[in-house]
Structure 1
Amino acid sequence: MKPFLEALEERILIADGAMGTLLYSYGVDRCFEELNLSHPNEVLKVHKDYLDAGAEIIQTNTYGANYEKLSRYGLEESVKDINTKAVQLAKEAVDGRAYVLGTIGGIRGINQSLSLEEIKRNFREQLYCLLLEGVDGLLFETFYDLEELKTVVKIAKKEAGLPVVAQVSVHEPGVLQDGTKVRDALKQLELAGADVVGVNCRLGPYHMIQTLAEVPIPANAYLSVYPNASLPNYEEGRFYYSAEPEYFGKMSNELRLQGARIIGGCCGTTPDHIRSVAKHLTDRSPILTKEVKVKKEVELQPITSRSTPLHEKVKNERTVIVELDPPKHLDTSLFFEGVKALGESGIDALTLADNPLASPRISNGAIAAIAKERYEVNPLVHITCRDRNLIGLQSHLMGLHTLGVHDILAITGDPAKIGDFPGAASVYDLSSIELIKLIKQNNEGISFSGKSLRERTQFSVGAAFNPNFRHLDASIKRLERKVHAGADYFISQPIYGEEQLQQIYEGTRHLNAPIFIGIMPLTSARNAEFLHHEVPGITIPESTRRRMEFAGSDPMKARKEGMDIARSLIDTALALFNGIYLITPFTRYDMSIELVEYIKAQTNEERKVSHGQHII
């Protein structure tokens, strides 16, 4: 056979289809890459079936055979064995009749938290395993993150000396999930050194044709396309693809007209689909020129004016936000009495928790809409990653924007097992850091899928800060990651130590993001002990707990002592920070109002002193 790239120069090559889909249809539902070791004959049979169907390119069964993905199955120490065996099986099946491409799949998908350094380590380990066994080229497929794919392409071109096929995956035709156009992404991959650039997975032939219609013929690379068979169906607990092979084969001619030099299949495709491609793709001559059809860009609607975002306001003046948890029941009378009173006290925002401690409450989005409309109180809505999958999170954000709710706090959320419904599932499609990135992407007018929202959201994004870890440095490093993700400001857990406030100030003064210091007045010694010993993220110094104990069982004395402690903490906090976050205990909004009034009085007194000094 001619070298791989020489063959591509002359004609279109037909590649194989899905490996996992076929194994799944055999009843195998596990780590498909491990089957190279435990069920090699099944893997070998899949390769041979594709070859018999007309495939001229066979990819190794190594899509997820890296340390990161194998660790989910406890197989992280088997990277070398799995990759080595995969190449051996593919070469045994091919026996010189087709090209063998070593396959490496993307790691970043919905989860964007893995650093580039970790990705490089994963990639190099798998890459060298494939190279040692001798492959004809490398196939990088199902990469949603362009930065990740460009990184591995550059490493491979520098260190492998083999042809590289680099393929992105998209949620929407023509655009990556970060909003980058596919045509621009493929150009960047071409410049990074990829020999073949293309698209695979997620979309069926129809939408793949739409995507490639916007892509010009590369000047220094070839185009590849591996569509899914169709969109998947779900029935009786199993996914399946209903697109007929005949349709898939007919569509291969249209893919050819878009300039594809490699046509294969991804999820849902079988040897019958590839056989149909071989049957219908009678003209293998490459398309060298074509008319590119670029869709008109959707214009974003102009941004409407909004009040000063919290993170901007707190940079310039004292700002007080108060948390009042939505009710656990449907009697909202006392709650809205508190909303009304807090609004009249002059707070800057009412923060509304999202089912704290994993216990269901009235939707904070519904509460926010009423508070804003009926009581003219600015709501700050918490959003946890626990209760909504990615679809729900994107929908929720769009809904809040439509309601005119622009101040939000992105948090991970307490695990479901600690709440009222311990059997409920925690979703966690995203981490809080990834949610911050999503919100910021919405502020650019782009949804998670990369599709235009036709309007920019205007969210001011807050993030949680827990300074009560054993090592404050670890907490601050997490703050730095959140700032890098786009956090505009932070809201801290309740703080009960004045020395701790000074430490926080010193440790965070380099951050370009203001902090609202959490203050929650104690109501009794029992309340103090419960918070310290049983509530995650709260630490109360022993001296403070002793003060509450000395106050005794008299509720009024305990209240007074708790408020004295809170006022003392506020005095220290105000000397260092502009933002105060009051957490209302047990819907006792009278205590929060009293502290709001205290803060305002302190601020007015400082202004008088400052004004007097200025006159002098």
Structure 2
Amino acid sequence: MKPDFLEYIHDHVVLGDGALGSYLFEQGVERGRNLDLLNVQAPEIVLAAHEEYIRAGSQLIETNTFGANWFKLREAGERVQEINRLGAEIAVKAAGQHIYVAGSVGPSGIAFPLHEEEGVRDAIRDCFREQVLGLAEGGVDLLIIETFSSLEEILLAIAAARSAAPQLPVVAQMVFPAKGLTVLGEDALYCGQQMRAAGAVLVGTNCGRGVDATVQAVAKMSPLAAEGTPLSAFPNAGLPEILGGRMIYPAQPGYMAVRAKEMLRSGVHLIGGCCGTQPAHIQEFRSVLKIKPVRVQVLGGMEPRNEEPAVVPAPAKQGGFLDSLQPGRLPIIVELDPPAHLDVEPVLQGAAKLALAGADAISLGENPLAVLRAGNLSMAALIRQRTGIQTILHQTGRDVNALGLQSRMMDAHLLGIEAVLAVSGDSAAGTDQPGVTGVFDLRSYGLITMLDGLNRGFSMAGQSLRQQTNFSIGAAFSFRPADPEVQLRRLEKKAELGARFAMTQPLFSAEAVEQMLEHVRHLEILVFPGIFPLISARNAEFLHNEVPGISVPQELRSRLAQFSQVADQRKVALEYTASLVAQIAPMIDGLYIISPLNKWEIALEFVAQARQAGWQGSGRAKQHS
């Protein structure tokens, strides 16, 4: 059992969690979606996020209720209190008996300072009361009133919390963007004194303009710590940059952990992270600050039953596909698309010939570009049954909700499928079917997490499946030589979540492949570079200009353009690809051949080339399998 929070916090440093909102977006939750409503609509996603932070070492987690007040959830009507209660119950379920749960209360959304009549002030106070009542009903251990820019508003929130749930300790945190001052110029020490006088037992800061601003703010508040009031700090991971429509935060876990040491010297006893921080940051905090991890088993929300000793989770599996790879020869994957009709026999015949030629696996897309095709699960099962070759099922989060995805993966296991490539999926905007919209309950991160759980024998809700799936979990990697860092960080995250191999988008030069290999050398996963045999100059120009993430070298496009006949263009292009494959074969983990226009006959030539040459590749496949 955990000790009383107030008694414990005075003599110990408690490690909180990191950002919940930005982490949920990273896991595939659609941007713009109301995160507080996930407590009702998709509680398993919230539960999984809490569990990730607990695995990383968090001793305190915050509920997914930051914006769950009446002003921000007007459309939810009377459900506001219920949404807060559910948010608390989800966190309490994840926390078990060892982790503190803090009810998160954010600003109302009303602009301060107030100039309206007193009734507005009463309405704001009531909205905070309603939220706190729901959190208390859900079983939180304390409240964190956070990210307030206005001292006037946070004092209203503290008063409401003390009135609604006087038994719950209150942590109050304001935003001090620079030099320990609010946007209105109020000093951090003065604000801390006022929050303490209003009833907060810990005062501090979160969010703001990065780590340095947080260090400055808590340094100003340090006299309060000297007087016996512990401080709290949850800094952002630096100042964000927008890249490709995504918010990227630069502060690395190691840097933040070192700066956190400075905050402890100022009297911080509750430390965590805000925007841009993830479980990796919390894990580094735990290591650098030497905070002992809580001994608790977390497997999909399952708590230890009957007080039995916690069982250490099984290590992540390599899975059936990777285990099947033959030592001493270059692994080869060939991609075929299911047909856009029900005459599947030609694709089955092609798969049989590819298997006979020495391919190790057939990879099957799931309605690529949101264009209707025969189901890839049935195709994968038919190919596996007819040829015995491994099949890699592409699984998107676009077409099926989280419930259906889990059921589909259970089907795949029962049908003998042993490899899944987890991808978010193309937008449904380009579909050829009327009225189609994307679901996206899960995107690539969430899919990998789900598959890793199934491999351990648990559903997303923590229910035992009585057996474990045996999937080799794959991830897509869009390597862009001109700007590799964003996608590299995504691949690192996918590997951390459980991916064991990666398949890249097409690369068209040995230099690009070498550069890619240099960037991924530190990862303990196999990476299969995509090879797309071009068949015409038009084909090359289309891929280069219209398919995101694909770059066909100008030299190759110019060479193809010199020939007027498509047959001549194809001959030159295939010779170029054969030369490329020969150059990269000794250095790569495996080969991922994408059949152009589903022409498996072309891929067959390259499989035969590789087997006749007896290429062994990098040898890493043998080490991993």
Do both share a fold (TM > 0.5)?
A: yes
For 2:383, the equivalent position in structure 1 comes to 371
1:589 paired with 2:596, answer no
CA offsets per residue over residues 2-22 of structure 1, 9 Å max, x none?
A: xxx9xxxxxxxxxxxxx99xx
Between the aligned residues of both structures, percent identity stands at 30
* Residue 35 of structure 1, aligned match among 50, 57, 71: 71
Conserved 8 A contact 2:318-2:472: no
Conserved 8 A contact 1:462-1:491: yes
1:401 paired with 2:401, answer no
What is the alpha-carbon root mean square deviation over aligned residues?
Answer: 4.9
For 2:398, the equivalent position in structure 1 comes to 386
For 2:611, the equivalent position in structure 1 comes to 600
Instruction: Please give the alpha-carbon distance, in whole angstroms, between the structure 2 residues aligned to 1:598 and 1:129.
Output: 74
Q: What SS does structure 1 have at the residue aligned with 2:440?
A: coil
- Which amino acid in the other structure matches residue 473 of structure 1? E
For 1:135, the equivalent position in structure 2 comes to 159
Relative distance call for 1:37 and 1:394 in structure 2 (3 A) is closer
1:321 paired with 2:344, answer no
Provide the TM-score with structure 1 as the length reference: 0.55
- List gaps (5 residues or longer) in structure 2: 6-35, 38-66, 82-102, 137-142, 175-194, 203-303, 619-625
User: Larger deviation: 377-386 or 328-337?
Assistant: 328-337
| 1:28-177 aligned within 5 A | 33=69, 35=71, 66=106, 88-89=122-123, 102=132, 123-125=146-148, 131-133=154-156, 134-135=158-159, 137=161
For 2:444, the equivalent position in structure 1 comes to 432
Instruction: Please give the alpha-carbon distance, in whole angstroms, between the structure 2 residues aligned to 1:494 and 1:552.
Output: 25
- Which amino acid in the other structure matches residue 403 of structure 1? L
Conserved 8 A contact 1:525-1:552: no
For 2:537, the equivalent position in structure 1 comes to 525
Relative distance call for 1:421 and 1:546 in structure 2 (3 A) is same
Instruction: Please give the alpha-carbon distance, in whole angstroms, between the structure 2 residues aligned to 1:458 and 1:140.
Output: 50
Q: What SS does structure 1 have at the residue aligned with 2:528?
A: strand
CA offsets per residue over residues 45-84 of structure 1, 9 Å max, x none?
A: x99xxxxxxxxxxxxxxx99748xx9xxxx6x85998xx9
CA offsets per residue over residues 448-481 of structure 1, 9 Å max, x none?
A: 1121111111111000001137411221111111
Q: Following TM superposition, by how much is the alpha carbon of 1:546 offset from its aligned partner in structure 2, in angstroms?
A: 1.4
Q: Following TM superposition, by how much is the alpha carbon of 1:417 offset from its aligned partner in structure 2, in angstroms?
A: 0.7
Instruction: Please give the alpha-carbon distance, in whole angstroms, between the structure 1 residues aligned to 2:538 and 2:161.
Output: 68
- Which amino acid in the other structure matches residue 356 of structure 2? E
Instruction: Please give the alpha-carbon distance, in whole angstroms, between the structure 1 residues aligned to 2:613 and 2:421.
Output: 27
Relative distance call for 1:391 and 1:87 in structure 2 (3 A) is farther
| 1:151-550 aligned within 5 A | 294=306, 308-310=320-322, 313=325, 317-421=329-433, 423-468=435-480, 470-550=482-562
Instruction: Please give the alpha-carbon distance, in whole angstroms, between the structure 2 residues aligned to 1:371 and 1:126.
Output: 60
Conserved 8 A contact 1:445-1:456: yes
- Which amino acid in the other structure matches residue 411 of structure 1? V
Q: Following TM superposition, by how much is the alpha carbon of 1:375 offset from its aligned partner in structure 2, in angstroms?
A: 2.1
1:563 paired with 2:574, answer yes
- List gaps (5 residues or longer) in structure 1: 6-18, 21-30, 48-62, 107-119, 142-151, 165-291, 608-616
- Which amino acid in the other structure matches residue 155 of structure 2? L
CA offsets per residue over residues 207-258 of structure 1, 9 Å max, x none?
A: xxxxxxxxxxxxxxxxxxxxxxxxxxxxxxxxxxxxxxxxxxxxxxxxxxxx
Q: What SS does structure 2 have at the residue aligned with 1:427?
A: coil
Q: Following TM superposition, by how much is the alpha carbon of 1:602 offset from its aligned partner in structure 2, in angstroms?
A: 2.6
Instruction: Please give the alpha-carbon distance, in whole angstroms, between the structure 1 residues aligned to 2:73 and 2:405.
Output: 40
CA offsets per residue over residues 535-572 of structure 1, 9 Å max, x none?
A: 233221111111222243142x2222121121122123
Instruction: Please give the alpha-carbon distance, in whole angstroms, between the structure 2 residues aligned to 1:351 and 1:474.
Output: 26
Instruction: Please give the alpha-carbon distance, in whole angstroms, between the structure 2 residues aligned to 1:137 and 1:499.
Output: 61
Q: What SS does structure 2 have at the residue aligned with 1:360?
A: coil
Q: Following TM superposition, by how much is the alpha carbon of 1:429 offset from its aligned partner in structure 2, in angstroms?
A: 0.9
Conserved 8 A contact 2:590-2:617: no
- Which amino acid in the other structure matches residue 35 of structure 1? F
Number of positions where the alignment pairs a residue of Structure 1 with one of Structure 2: 399
- Which amino acid in the other structure matches residue 521 of structure 2? R
Provide the TM-score with structure 2 as the length reference: 0.54
Conserved 8 A contact 1:495-1:519: yes
- Which amino acid in the other structure matches residue 575 of structure 1? P
Instruction: Please give the alpha-carbon distance, in whole angstroms, between the structure 2 residues aligned to 1:124 and 1:88.
Output: 21
- Which amino acid in the other structure matches residue 357 of structure 1? L
Instruction: Please give the alpha-carbon distance, in whole angstroms, between the structure 1 residues aligned to 2:452 and 2:319.
Output: 18
Q: Following TM superposition, by how much is the alpha carbon of 1:401 offset from its aligned partner in structure 2, in angstroms?
A: 1.0
Q: What SS does structure 2 have at the residue aligned with 1:135?
A: helix
Q: What SS does structure 2 have at the residue aligned with 1:515?
A: strand
Conserved 8 A contact 1:138-1:163: no
- Which amino acid in the other structure matches residue 579 of structure 2? S
CA offsets per residue over residues 283-330 of structure 1, 9 Å max, x none?
A: xxxxxxxxx995999x9xx99x99853278489742000001000011
Instruction: Please give the alpha-carbon distance, in whole angstroms, between the structure 2 residues aligned to 1:487 and 1:355.
Output: 22
Instruction: Please give the alpha-carbon distance, in whole angstroms, between the structure 2 residues aligned to 1:476 and 1:445.
Output: 29
